[in-house]
Amino acid sequence: MTKLSRRKFLTYVGTGVAAITVASSGITPLTGQAVASTKTTKKSNTKGKGLDFKAIEPSDKDELLLPKGYQYDVVAAYGDTINKQGDTFGFNNDLTVYFPIKDSSDHGLLWVNHEYSSDVFVTGPKNGDTYSKEQIEKILYVQGGSIIEVKKEKGKWKMMTDSKYARRITGLTPISLTGPAAGTHAVSGAKKVQGTFANCSGGKTLWNTVLTCEENFERTCEDASLNETHYGWVVEIDPFDSNFTVRKHTALGRFHHENTAMGLSKDNRVVVYMGDDVKDACVYKFISNGKYNEKDGTKNAKLLEDGTLYAANFAKGTWLPLTMESFEEKVNEMKEEGKLTEEDQALINKITSLADILVHTHEVAIFLGATPTDRPEDVEIHPKDQTIYIAHTNNSDHGNIHGHITKIIEKEDDLGSPTFDFEIFAAGGRQSGFSAPDNLTFDDDGNLWTVTDISSSKLNKDAFQAFKNNGVFVIPTSGKDGGVAFQFASAPVEAELTGPFFTPNEKTLFLSVQHPGEETEDKNKPTSMWPHRKGDTIPRPAVVAITGFKGGK
């Protein structure tokens, strides 16, 4: 008798509530297998790099561990000088995006996000309940993003500190607002705001700029006494052109943005998928009113200023437009049915225009019937079939301890479709060997690469003990190993691996090592010393370039 695997059982259960409940539980599999596969993967396409590695075992070592035959170079770490002006690499690097110079996979610019600061390693503690002016400036400076020039010479990747492109975008940089909320009462009349921070993930546009996402912005807003409505947006930067106006696109909504994934509808409109990294949050997509024209280059950025933002209702498989028309229709419907609550009325009092909807995106989405989900973080578009993959990291409030990866299938494979279906592609837990999926990326063969985000305070404890340190996992999306996770990397102590991004020839994988030693309480007694560089007295978040891939183009 053929054993029924847990993954196939989930497929048989279907895509309704029952499937989500089983997928979220982290229960042992029907076969009894309790770890991720450690067999050697086989490449399915000689054109791409495939998966020619023997999966590693979980580890709790203070090292970045890779399969045999792979190695990494530390390209830039916190505090490193990045240019002749003396700018330094920020703290807690996350997203990486590679931009080739002259189409090279060995020489280019690297955009890197910087998500948050640290009292222990960056500023020192507060004086009572407040930071000093100098501390606040440091907090704002170490967040945002870095543009660095990187080059592979004699088999090693390094940062070019004499670069004419290298610069910082920080919490101190003047940034313009675009779209429906710019200059309105919803943002206190602002057309320009101070800085970007809490930069988690993001994405690359079709016109070769970067979209960086502001996620958990509240703490820095409070510390620096800044207007919260000026943060929680998607920010666009052109790494090659310092004259390109850095801008926050209000048409994409304001919430705890994790990332963006950009594609085209069948009628050539720009579509941007986005997740909201909090418990019981929604999945969104934006569709531009105008159509993409490759010849327009960065002028296409205007497309992100005019369009419709939608939120997903998974139960009905529909994308709900977040517009004044739909909002007013819902209000009238609930009034007629006598269902308005005090909370509803409080929201109604806030919403007088599209600008208000975009500033209060989550509240409006829930009011209109969008589905609250389990921390929808990274969203990515499959390069072969246009399906959408979402890392639902976890939600302990509902017993979804280990999270899962959801797959959306748009009707007729059209990213502009108003309807969709979905399924649970992979569930975190002992049976799969990974927990808390976070950033995602695809290689050209359609294999899904995911990093994990088990909270540093929970690593190697209780329900998370079996997974040891955070890691990188590769999950084929088709074939006999479809849905099976293979561990490619293990992070240093208390670190999280983030922002995986391949060079065009897929011979290098850029990866951020974020917050090693995060649980350190005494700077003189760090719990990690990664990257173990001579002269360092503290652990340093850093970006690495991983090589050893046998394939490539």
Position 486 confidence tier, pLDDT thresholds 50, 70, 90: very high
| % of the chain surpassing 90 pLDDT | 90
CB 538, CB 90: distance < 8 Å: no
pLDDT for residue 550: 83
User: Cα dist. 293→69, 267, 298 in Å?
Assistant: 42, 12, 10
Instruction: Report the alpha-carbon distance of residue 343 to residue 205 in Å, rounded.
Output: 38
pLDDT for residue 38: 61
CB 215, CB 198: distance < 8 Å: yes
The stretch 194-210 carries a mean pLDDT of 98
The stretch 523-552 carries a mean pLDDT of 94
Instruction: Report the alpha-carbon distance of residue 110 to residue 99 in Å, rounded.
Output: 6
CB 318, CB 371: distance < 8 Å: no
pLDDT over 50 (residue 42): no
Q: What is the DSSP string of 10-26?
A: HHHH-SSHHHHHHHHH-
pLDDT single digits (tens) 109-119: 999 999 999 99
Instruction: Report the alpha-carbon distance of residue 340 to residue 326 in Å, rounded.
Output: 16
**130 contacts: CB under 8 Å, gap ≥ 6:** none
The stretch 14-31 carries a mean pLDDT of 34
The stretch 498-506 carries a mean pLDDT of 97
Name which of 394, 401, 393 is nearest 462 in CA terms. 401
Query: 210-214 and 279-281 as β-strands: parallel, antiparallel, unpaired?
Result: unpaired
The stretch 254-269 carries a mean pLDDT of 98
CB 58, CB 490: distance < 8 Å: yes
Strand partners, 376: 392
Q: What is the mean pLDDT of the chain?
A: 92
CB 99, CB 108: distance < 8 Å: yes
pLDDT for residue 39: 58
Among 50-59, 86-95, 187-196, the minimum mean pLDDT is found in 50-59
Q: What is the Cα 519 distance to its own chain's centre?
A: 22
Among 36-50, 114-128, 502-516, 529-543, the minimum mean pLDDT is found in 36-50
pLDDT for residue 27: 31
